[in-house]
Amino acid sequence: MTAWRTTSLQWRLTLSLLFVTTLVWALVLVMTWFKTEHELSELLDAHLAQTAAVLAVQTSDEHDDDFTTAAVLHKYQPRVAFQIWHEKDLIFRSNEAPLVPLAPLGQSGISNQWQAQQAWRVFATPGRESDVWVVVAELQTARNDILNAGLQSAIVPMLLALPVLALLIWGTIFQSLGTLRQLSQTVAQRHPDARQPLSEVVSAEVQPLVRALNRLFDQMAQQMDGERRFTADAAHELRTPIAAIRMQAQVARGTDTGSERQNALDAVLQGCDRATRLVAQLLQLARLDAGGVAQAAVACDAVAETRATLADLGPQAVAKQQTLSLDAPESLPLSMPPGLVGVLVGNLVDNAQRYSPAGARIQVAWDALPLPRLVVQDSGPGLNDADLSRLGDRFFRVPGNGADGSGLGWSIVRRLAQRYRLHVLVERSAELGGLRVVLTWPAP
């Protein structure tokens, strides 16, 4: 089966069409055989009956005890035989008829008989007198010869036409597959950086393939652009913490004062933490862009993941004297892979902590009805309209804000929202005055 699937499509179509054509022709031939045999048998039986009727009418009351034999007047005459019996005596017969009755006397009608080691089709009927029987018979081989001769006239031309039919089918399929060959050559010669779509002026059967290829090429172009931009931005963004770590390490090595060395080493650790967080976010975002996270069939508990995430972010809130609060039901099942709710909550709350001042309030709330909804708001300075429009761009940071961040957290939130069809609303919090983010899950 595998070898057949990998065979040339042209040969597969040619052989399949030839097989189907031959099969249909064979079925028609069998049906024609039986139909012709039936009609021919009816016709020849009628001839036998007509001949027997003529002979029966011609029989007279005068009968000779000695029988006579009809003369042979045609080369095909031996295939047909007749007998006339009078009181079980054979008084007249054809030259090829045997001396014994071809059919039981007294039994009229059509029957198949075996006499003289030959199969006969026999018609028997009484004559003008009740003691006279007329028997007319025909060799079964003669009938078969007529049938075979008729069918050969249909079979032989078909057998001779099969090679011609195969060439015509092969040529037609070759011509029809020209579009696929041309498309294959176009794709093979296409430059990796080419962006123009393939022409859709092709046959209707090939158009879905061309459209799918164009969508694929467009997605690949967008992905390549994103990777180039992402690589350039990531390289630029990582250069800053690495340079800062190097500078602080040089300060620590060159200073003689213990306090200055300690401050420099603390700065080195902070730079390492920033670089580590940046790399982790880069890897997480790269996995999302590459489709590494798939939709899960099993629901996760959003509230449980939120509590675990807030517990991990607790020390950071304590360090900045910020207040973290959670308003949620006991549990809330969501159709998302385990861990992704924690990623959403973690990035939103982490941004709120970083860009809110010391002593700020950060509230996290879950609503189950009418649709699952996550609300994260803070009492920070918020964002103006211009900054709100750029929120979510990779490596975008609010100008004039000294918070340590790279903007990747919002990119991760946006990417997850796009993948799982979440509605994202970002606005100023009427309750706390800072930023308010609302994520709404779609209906199941």
Q: pLDDT tens for residues 172-184? A: 888 877 778 788 7
> How far apart, in whole angstroms, are the C-alpha atoms of residue 342 and residue 335?
14
Residue 273 is predicted with a pLDDT of 73
Single-letter amino acid, residue 232: A
Contact indicator for 132, 108 with CB cutoff of 8 Å:
no
Residue 402 is predicted with a pLDDT of 46
Q: pLDDT tens for residues 151-200? A: 777 777 777 877 888 888 888 888 877 778 788 788 888 777 777 888 87
- Choose between 349 and 162: higher pLDDT: 349
> How far apart, in whole angstroms, are the C-alpha atoms of residue 298 and residue 106?
89
> How far apart, in whole angstroms, are the C-alpha atoms of residue 136 and residue 50?
10
pLDDT surpasses 90 at 364: yes
Say what the alpha-carbon torsion angle 77, 83, 84, 85 is, to the nearest 10 degrees: 170
Q: Span 44-54, mean pLDDT?
A: 68
Record the tokens describing residue 176, joined without a space: 């029809």
Phi, psi of 121 (to 5 degrees): -105, 115
The pLDDT-based confidence of 297 (bands split at 50, 70, 90) is very low
Single-letter amino acid, residue 187: V
